[in-house]
Structure 1
Amino acid sequence: MTSNQYVMFLQRFIKNPKRVGSVLPSLRSLASKMVQSVSWEDVSTIAEFGSGTGAITRFIELFNFKSELRETLLHQITESLKPEGKFIAFQYSLQMKKHLSEKFIIDKIDFVPLNFPPAFVYTCRKKEGI
C-alpha cells in the first residue's frame, strides 16, 4: 500500500472503528501465522469471515459484538465445523480466551507483535459432542 492508502485506511477507521476493525491493514506476518497450523493435505473446505484489505481480509473482532450476536456467531461456527475441525482467528487481546475455551479446545495462542495493533492468533478445534 502507498502512504496515501494508509492514511485513507486510518481515516476510515476513525470514522467507523467497529466496521473497519483495525487502525492499519493486517500484515503478511499475521496471515502467515494464521495459516501455519493448517494441515493443507487434510483440508477440503475453508470459510473466511469478513471482507476488507490487508494480507488477510477484515476479521470478526468477537469482543466488539453484543453477547447475543457473539453467541450466535460462535454457535454457527461450531455447527459448521466437522468433528476436530479447526477454527483459527485473531483477536487484539486475550479477552475472548475464556469464552472460546468453553466452545473449543484451544490448541495454541500465538502472539504476533509486529502487526499493528499486535494480535493473538487462536488455533482452536471443535470439541467432541458439540
Structure 2
Amino acid sequence: MKFLSFLAQYISNPRSVGAILPSSSYLADKMVKSINFEQARYILEYGPGTGVFTEKLLQNRNPNTAIILIESNEEFYKILVQKYKEVDNLFIHNGSAEKVDWYLEKCGIPYVDYVISGLPFASLPKAVSHRILFKTSKVLRKNGKFVTFQYSNVMKAYIEQFFSKVDVSIEIRNVPPAMVLCCSLEEEKMEVTYAI
C-alpha cells in the first residue's frame, strides 16, 4: 500500500516527490546517524513522505524531544496524520519548508537541533531551494546539523553556500543509490544573500 501511494504521488508530482520508491531503511539509518538523540530537544523533518525517516526518529528519540514534520504533498500529509495520530510531541504541518520559521513560531519552538530533509533540491525551482536552505541555516542552533540526501553531486556546491562544513557519504543500498550530505555551521553563521 505504501509503495502504491508513493508511486501514485510520484506520477502526479514528479518534481516534488523526486523518487519512484520510498527511501530504504539503510538510507534512513545513515540519515539519522549524526543525531545525538539524548541531547536533541527539537528535530525537524522536511518532506517526510510516508514516514521512513520519521520512524527512525521516533524509535530513537528521547520522549521529551519534539519532532516537527513539514510535508507539502497533501496525500502524504494525510497518511502521516493518520499513522501518527496517537504520538505525543509530534507536530505535522501541510505546507512548504519555505515557511519553516512560521511553522516553528506557531508551535512555540525557538530553534532546532537537527533538520532531516527528503526534499529533491535538484528538481525544485532554484528560488525555492534558496529560501529553504537560507531559512534552515537561520533556525538551526549553533553546531546544529542539516542532513539531506541527493541522487547526484550536482547540488553539493550550491548547498555549501549556506553551510560552512558539508560531509558526504554514499548509501548504495537504496534505489537509486544516494549521497548523504551532513551540513553544519561550525563557524559564526555566514551571511547569505537572500534572493527571492
TM-score, normalised by the number of residues in structure 2: 0.58
The 3 A distance-change label for structure 1 pair 8 and 68 is closer
Where does structure 1 lack aligned partners over 5 or more consecutive residues?
Answer: none
Where does structure 2 lack aligned partners over 5 or more consecutive residues?
Answer: 55-70, 72-117, 191-196
Q: Percent identity?
A: 35
Higher share in strand: 2
Aligned partner of 2:105 in structure 1 is none
Give the structure, 1 or 2, with the largest relative contact order (CA under 8 Å, sep 6 or more): 1
Matched, 1:50 2:47: yes
Letter in 1 for 2:33: Q
Distance in structure 2 (CA, Å) of the matches to 1:86 and 1:41: 15
Contact 1:113 1:119 in 2 (8 A): yes
Select 2:137's aligned residue among 58, 71, 78: 78
1:54: how far off?
Answer: 5.2
Aligned partner of 1:128 in structure 2 is 188
Distance in structure 1 (CA, Å) of the matches to 2:37 and 2:142: 17
The number of residue pairs the alignment matches comes to 127
Distance in structure 1 (CA, Å) of the matches to 2:31 and 2:49: 17
Aligned partner of 2:32 in structure 1 is 35
Aligned partner of 1:88 in structure 2 is 147
Select 2:161's aligned residue among 97, 102, 125: 102
SS at match of 1:122: strand
